[in-house]
A and B are shown apart, each in its own frame.
Chain A
Amino acid sequence: MLVYIFFAVLCAAVMLPVIMMVLLSLNDETELASAIMPLESGKGFCAPDPLPFFPTFSHYKKLMLYTPEFYRVFFNSLRNTAVILVCQVLFAAPSAWAFSRMKSRHSKLLFDMYVIFMLMPFQVTMLSQYLLLDRLGLMDTSAALILPAVFSTFPVFIMYRSFSQIPEDVLDHARIDGAGEFTIFLRIGLPMGRSGMLAAVTLGFLDLWNMVEQPLAFIKDKRLLPLSVYLPMIDKGSEGIVLAASVITLIPAVFVFIIGQDELEAGMISSGIKE
């Protein structure tokens, strides 16, 4: 029983910021203003009402009607994320398949190199990416965000683990039946490694939707910014709009989270076991 109480408190604490965000976004103008006033005046303390006195969608309405750039920024995020994820799967899945099947020392060495570059923080490759993008004339374009992310080695790492679970015997049987390597990959590899691929896509989405470092470094044109950098730049004094925009930004991520959660678990089960 005590354990359940502990977890109830823990869960409440974990969810509190999100619940607070949603509730505050429903506050009306004056209520919200009085709740966050101490932030600017420095007098007293913030004490937002747990329940909005006059729940209203007015901030959402304002965001939708009077903030046209929000649509553009939202679309930027959506398009960047979608293009990156599709390309990541196209490049990473075959690579991961090859790594999971190759046994020579060279391939192990190359895979270790992939892991090393996966571990590098963005800042280590920031300069090199900048020099490359500058030479290609891609600075300050969406391609500057998309192109380097496509060849991230993280999805290869996640997919590799679930592909390695497929026993070689299964493939040998297919080979005896005359299946080519490409058919084997399509018919056996992809379906059996499905959970690992979906886990990689889910993790990829959540990370890309939250992209901060790359746009900060490579994008100056405000019209090309993704949501994750645009949100904190909304003018002070329109906190209601910021909250509404935050809730709307959160929705796709929650959606992907709910769909991908089971795959995340399934993909991880296969990766928890030693290769």
Chain B
Amino acid sequence: MTDAVHYGIKENTENKTKTTDKRKNKRDLRYLPFLLPGAVGVIVFIIIPFADSARRSFLTNITLEWCGLDNYRAVFNNEAFALAMKNTLRFTAVCLPLLTAVSFMIAYVLSKLIHARLIRSVLLFPMAIPTATMVLIWQILFADSGCINGILTYLGKGTVRFLGEGSFWLLVGSYIWKNLGYTVLLWLTGIESISSSLCEAAKTDGAGEVQCLVYIIMPSLRPTLYTITIISFLNSFKVFREAYLLAGSYPHRDIYLMQHLFSNWFAEMDLGKMAAAAVCVFTVVFVAAALLKKVWDREW
């Protein structure tokens, strides 16, 4: 008896979600003309070509015969691939948390200042600077006989090979330099959207500055964190511009990135390997994005 009732209810709600789904689908159809032009372009210029290149990953390079997993085997046995993936992962693993944390601290302090506008603009400015315009200046500053080494020597600290062993950290630095302002801006808009009365109310109840930060501000910034993670991740791949323009196709092995590998294989027209490696990188990014979304969608 109870079972029957139970099932009855279940069936009922199932039907309901189905009908609302149908209604939603029907309602959505009127937006199809808006969506279609862009979506057709995305499908024709991005998705289908990618599927095609994924197919290529199972074919031989020139004769285009089926070769099973040979390309993947070649990629996984390739030392350059291992090095490039390791470096790229290391770069992302260092930069994302570093940028997020540093920018949050700066944004939090800035949100308490009155004259924050100018500082914000100055910090934001590097994102407007094309990489190519800075190449010569980076060399003057960071070359073995550059300014910075001059100053270090003057201070008796010896020289650092910024374009050699130190290149990984130079790249991290340039990533932070370029993206700090934008990330600070994202945090600031997030912080400013939290009503200040919340914190004040908490403080009259005896909460301290730190408690306010940890229990009120930080939890409300979860959506901002999501946006920041996505945008910083996206931009982390663009350090290739600095790395390539400063050090060329074969930089110091610490900054030989996945991007270098692809462009070198492309120059050699090693398309089979490229296709297989593209599928691998796609999978890694896909899994990372799916995980991020899962964390984001979870109820907290």
Residues on A close to B: CB < 8 A?
3-4, 7, 10-11, 14-15, 17-18, 20-21, 24, 35-36, 38-39, 41-48, 91-92, 94-95, 97-99, 101-107, 110, 112-132, 147-148, 150-151, 153-154, 156, 161, 181, 185, 206-207, 209-210, 212-213, 216-217, 227-232, 239, 242-243, 246-247, 249-250, 253-254, 256-257, 261, 264-265, 268-269, 271-274
Is A39 in contact with B140, judged by CB distance below 8 angstroms? yes
A17 to B147, CA, bound (A): 12
Dominant secondary structure at the A interface: helix
Query: Which one of B21, B177, B237, B281 has the highest number of Cβ atoms from chain A below 10 Å of its Cβ?
Result: B237
Tally of B interface residues using CB under 8 Å: 96
Contact B258–A123 (Cβ < 8 Å):
yes
> Is B285 on the interface with A (CB-CB < 8 A)?
yes
Question: Once the chains bind, are B133 and A39 in contact (CB under 8 Å)?
Answer: no
Q: What are 28 contact pairs spanning A and B, CB under 8 A?
A: A18-B125, A20-B140, A21-B133, A44-B150, A45-B150, A46-B141, A94-B38, A95-B34, A95-B37, A98-B35, A103-B27, A103-B28, A104-B27, A106-B25, A106-B28, A112-B293, A120-B282, A123-B259, A128-B46, A147-B45, A181-B30, A213-B259, A242-B136, A246-B132, A246-B134, A253-B128, A257-B128, A273-B223
Q: Is B89 interfacial (CB-CB < 8 Å)?
A: no
The B interface, classified by DSSP as helix, strand, loop or mixed, is helix
Of residues 275 through 298 on chain B, the ones whose CB sits less than 8 Å from some CB of chain A are 275, 278, 281-282, 285-286, 288-289, 293
> Complex: how many Å from CA A4 to CA B119?
10
B81 lies within 8 A of chain A by Cβ: no
B121 within 8 A of A: yes
Q: Output the least CB separation between B239 and chain A (Å).
A: 11
Any chain A CB within 8 A of the CB of B156?
no
Interface centre among B32, B135, B140, B238 (most CB of A within 10 A): B140
